Amino acid sequence: MECKSIENPNSLLGEELDLCIFDEASRFSPEIYERYIMARLTTRKGKLFSISSPFGKNWFYRNHLKADAKFNFKSIDNPYFPKEEWTRVKEKLPEMIFKQEYEALFLEDAASVFRKIEEIVGNTLKDVSSNSYYLMGVDLGKHEDFTVITVVDKTTYEVVYLDRFNKIDYPFQKERILAISKRYNNARIYIDSTIVGEPIKEDLERMGAFVDDFKFSNKSKKELIEKLSIFIEQKYIKIPNNPDLLEELSSFGYRLTDNGNIIYSAPKGFHDDMVCSLALSVWGLLPKSNIRKSIIPKELEWKNVIAKKLKSYI
């Protein structure tokens, strides 16, 4: 008998199995199940017990439907579950999360933080416009994680630029970030200043960029992600048809702590760099019923008028 974690999937490889108990199965990618688990059960015709709370109608749901034997229990069916806790969490949690986590119901999109993603996809990538103002979201990475740069047009609320890269030293990353900001009319930068981000933010300011730092914590990330979720669901923004971005948005989920708090994150084995970069670029936007109206300070509007007047006399 062995107990293993999927944090290092290669550790799952080894001898063939007679029995595998796969806990929290719905939270893992189907690749873990298909590539590392099933291959070890096949020759011996081993048995698989998959245990999990639901997470939308994903691969775990499909396997549940096909299973030889299946069981479904609510948390309150557990004789050791405190009855008063049922009422407390029901009042505290969003309805869909409660139904999924405590009533063990398979719900469409219940696992997804972002819904109606396909309704905001379009041909949005484009070069700079002299009449537009831009915001840039930068999520920093270096080796395993990616650095992602997302630029949003404040006039149209469209993602006009998207770049994703890794294994590039920070001095070169700073030059790239600055160059893109300058290209898009000195776009204001919202940057992840957690850990290594603080000195990079300061360097970018010394290089002439307009930078707002954003420190990630459970609380601040919750606010950031929930704002992006509203912008997507209300169709305030438009995003490009980028497969990596769409995969991250679709798989991005949440987990519950022991005291019932929600923590947003990508499932194990997935990235969330593009989600965080997009969320940072949206952070400086306001939800408007008419998003075509440019959000420009009055003093800047007057400067534009004066500049156009002067240009007409030259």
| Secondary structure (DSSP) of 97-162 | HHHHHTS----TTTT-SS--GGGGEE-------TT--EEEEEE---SSSPEEEEEEETTT-BEEEE
pTM of this structure: 0.64
The predicted pLDDT at position 290 comes to 43
Structural domain including 33 reads 9-101
291, part of any domain? no
CATH of the domain at 263: 3.30.420.240
At 303, the amino acid letter reads K
Domain count, the chain: 2
Q: CA-to-CA distance for 176 and 262, rounded, in angstroms?
A: 35
Q: Are residues 77 and 39 in the same domain?
A: yes
Average pLDDT of the chain to the nearest whole number? 84
Q: Strand, helix or coil at 191? A: strand
Q: Are residues 258 and 141 in the same domain?
A: yes
Least confident of 63-67, 169-173, 235-239, 310-314: 310-314
Q: Are residues 126 and 274 in the same domain?
A: yes
73, part of any domain? yes
| Tens-digit pLDDT profile for residues 69-123 | 999 999 999 999 998 899 888 887 767 778 888 999 887 655 568 878 889 999 9
Q: Are residues 146 and 267 in the same domain?
A: yes
Q: Does the pLDDT value for residue 2 go beyond 80? A: yes
Q: Does the pLDDT value for residue 230 go beyond 50? A: yes
Q: Are residues 168 and 266 in the same domain?
A: yes
Place of tokens 């992006």: 228
| Tens-digit pLDDT profile for residues 23-50 | 988 877 777 888 888 888 888 889 999 9
312, part of any domain? no
Q: Are residues 97 and 139 in the same domain?
A: no
Q: CA-to-CA distance for 262 and 280, rounded, in angstroms?
A: 20
Q: Are residues 230 and 263 in the same domain?
A: yes
Q: Which of 100, 92, 26, 94 is nearest to 259 (CA)?
A: 92
The predicted pLDDT at position 163 comes to 95
Q: Are residues 69 and 143 in the same domain?
A: no
